Homo-oligomer: A and B are copies of this chain.
Amino acid sequence: MLTRMSSLFLRTLRDDPADAEVPSHKLLVRAGYVRRVAPGIYTWLPLGLKVLRAVEQIVREEMDAIGAQEIQLPALLPREPYEATGRWTEYGPNLFRLKDRKGGDYLLGPTHEELFTQVVKGEYSSYKDYPVVLYQIQNKYRDEARPRAGILRGREFLMKDSYSFDLTDEGLSESYAAHRAAYVKVFERLGLDYVVVAATSGAMGGSASEEFLAVAPTGEDTFVQSPGGYAANVEAVTTTAPPAIPLEGLPEAQAHHTPGTPTIESLVAFLNGAGLVDGEGRGREFTAADTLKNVLLKTRAPGATEWTLLGVGVPGDREVDMKRLEAALEPAEVALLDEADFARNAFLVKGYIGPVSLAANGVRYLVDPRVVTGSAWVTGADKPDHHVVDLVAGRDFTPDGTIEAADVREGDPAPDGSGPLSTARGIEIGHVFQLGRKYADAFALDALGPDSKPVRITMGSYGIGVSRLVAVIAEQNHDGSGLVWPAAVTPYDVHVVIAGKNEEIMTGGAALAAELEAAGLRVLLDDRKASPGVKFADAELIGVPTIVVAGRGLATGVIEVKDRRSGERVEVALSDAVAHLAGRVTG
């Protein structure tokens, strides 16, 4: 059915919304695709809904193609299954919780591992039933601390989530590979510029995990790449530890009075000016990388009320990256110490904390992987204005383990030896996880094997942010004048602008639009009583890939066809118009 702008529920805006920072947010609001209702909660107007449905359909087709079966779970869910896996608590304030009239606890589903596990357990019992892959395309709810960028990070958002159920680890690997391939197809069909990176599995549990990131300077995720093909979310980058150093013959640790050295920089300058010499009497040169910076934090397990102290040691030339640190400690909460914490723990000498007193006071201490046995460090001496030099790991202190907390830098070596890392930003558009047996264990999901013994099922979980993709596509497909939709998801194939108010142009333009519709194209007809200038600007803003101008040329049997992306214009004879435009759209 031909859509006429004279009656379409669409009003474009001249100005960017006040709260918008990223291009997709500005343009989707200005072009009348979405409207804000509350923070992170949006209404889809007619054009936006069309794009959303197109994206959804592409995702559906690729899921169906790998034999995944579509079902639909509720969004309003009882507490019990999430209690069984601990996620009722682990999700913390990100979960929307509510009570029903009888006081029963409910939540709005943020992801559905528990329910899918229960659904499969309800239907299947024999090994012959497996494998199975189920999916749904459904509104999800997460009470984000910082909903941002319009539909890019919403609190109500459309997601495709699927779950694979296999008898064996090999089966899980196959299901995972099938999903990964399907995701590649989806994102290729959408024409996205994206990377697949190794990821941490976060609150989902499980082992292997990769993220699909759309490359975008406005992205919230930082990822790294190497010339040799390594790619990872920055949270997932592992640090290559240097080889351990034999302890024999290493110099003794020595405490030094180091007044006026509140920063690593001032400490290094002080030491280099202190005339320290090595075993052979040569003057020693220190850099920030020789220092060990100890950051004191507190962590709290989900549902716990007590905080526990944690010391983290990183080389002094690096900062602690809180996102990496938090990812490493998930699902525990992490916070910096406040004055009261220091007051309660008098052994913590602020600015001069060293591994020795942490150990003496039973504080868990995790270090950067570069802190290997035999490495010697300049670090706090647990005494005001004092540092210790040549404190050797594995001799003078023994950390409780390692942690990926230090920042990753442009030029760091890729962990697989494939060269130096470069960093870029992206937006997470898909995530594939090998969950393993975490959820099957929680609900005792077993299949009766051929030998009548139970086989614990192993699962995968796979998500695509469908509504977010609309924003991501806009983020990668726009210019100074507006949106530029790829053919795969455009709300219309052709935007016919009637440029002129005389009867002949009006009827000629409408007739052409009707012919195009009859030929199977989806046509947006601008039949409004507005100036051609307003109409052209709106057409650019709305972003239908092919714009047809029906104006004065109609009198001589000519229309103008403009390619929205390239800006290229051609004149086409009216008699060839349908064939020409049909060719563009299908071609």
Contact = CB atoms under 8 A, between A and B. Distances in A.
A328 interface: no
A76 interface: yes
A114 to B, nearest CB: 11
Contacts of A76: 38, 41, 96, 108, 141, 155-156
Interface of A: 1, 7-11, 32, 35, 37-38, 41-46, 49, 52, 64, 67, 69-78, 93-94, 96-98, 100-101, 104, 106, 108, 115, 119, 122-124, 132, 134, 139, 141, 143, 145, 155-156
A139 B75 contact: yes
B9 A132 contact: yes
Given A7-B132, A98-B97, A122 B77 contact: no
A49 B93 CA distance: 32
Nearest to A11: B123
Report which residue of A71, A119, A145, A156 has the largest number of chain B beta carbons within 10 angstroms of its beta carbon. Answer: A71
B7 A67 contact: yes
B96 A70 contact: no
A256 B76 CA distance: 61
Nearest to A118: B37
* SS class, residues of chain A in contact with chain B: mixed
A76 B147 CA distance: 14
A542 to B, nearest CB: 15
Contacts of A98: 96-98, 108
B75 A46 contact: no
A97 B100 CA distance: 8
B74 A37 contact: yes
Contacts of A72: 43-44, 49, 52
Given A9-B132, A78-B37, A43 B101 contact: no
| 8 nearest CB pairs, A to B | A98-B98, A44-B72, A93-B101, A38-B78, A11-B123, A41-B74, A9-B69, A101-B143
Given A7-B132, A76-B156, A101 B145 contact: yes
Given A76-B155, A139-B139, A156-B76, A71 B49 contact: yes
A101 to B, nearest CB: 4
A71 B97 contact: no
A505 to B, nearest CB: 20
A98 B41 CA distance: 15
Contacts of A49: 70-72
A69 B42 contact: no
A22 to B, nearest CB: 21
A67 B6 CA distance: 13
B123 A9 contact: yes
A142 to B, nearest CB: 10
Contacts of A94: 101
B145 A43 contact: no
Contacts of A134: 9
A30 to B, nearest CB: 13
Contacts of A139: 75, 139
Given A46-B69, A100-B143, A124 B11 contact: yes
A106 B143 CA distance: 12
Contacts of A45: 71, 123
A69 B8 contact: yes
Given A9-B132, A77-B37, A46 B64 contact: no
Contacts of A52: 72
A71 B45 CA distance: 5
Nearest to A6: B128
A38 B104 CA distance: 10
A51 B328 CA distance: 45
A93 to B, nearest CB: 4
A145 to B, nearest CB: 7
Contacts of A44: 71-73
Report which residue of A52, A96, A97, A124 has the largest number of chain B beta carbons within 10 angstroms of its beta carbon. Answer: A96
A97 to B, nearest CB: 7
Contacts of A75: 75, 139, 156
Nearest to A95: B101
Contacts of A7: 67, 132
Given A9-B69, A43-B74, A44-B72, 19 more contacts: A9-B123, A35-B122, A37-B77, A37-B115, A38-B76, A38-B78, A38-B106, A41-B74, A43-B71, A43-B73, A44-B71, A49-B71, A49-B72, A76-B96, A76-B141, A96-B100, A96-B106, A98-B98, A100-B143
Given A43-B73, A72-B43, A35 B132 contact: no
Contacts of A9: 69, 71, 123, 132, 134
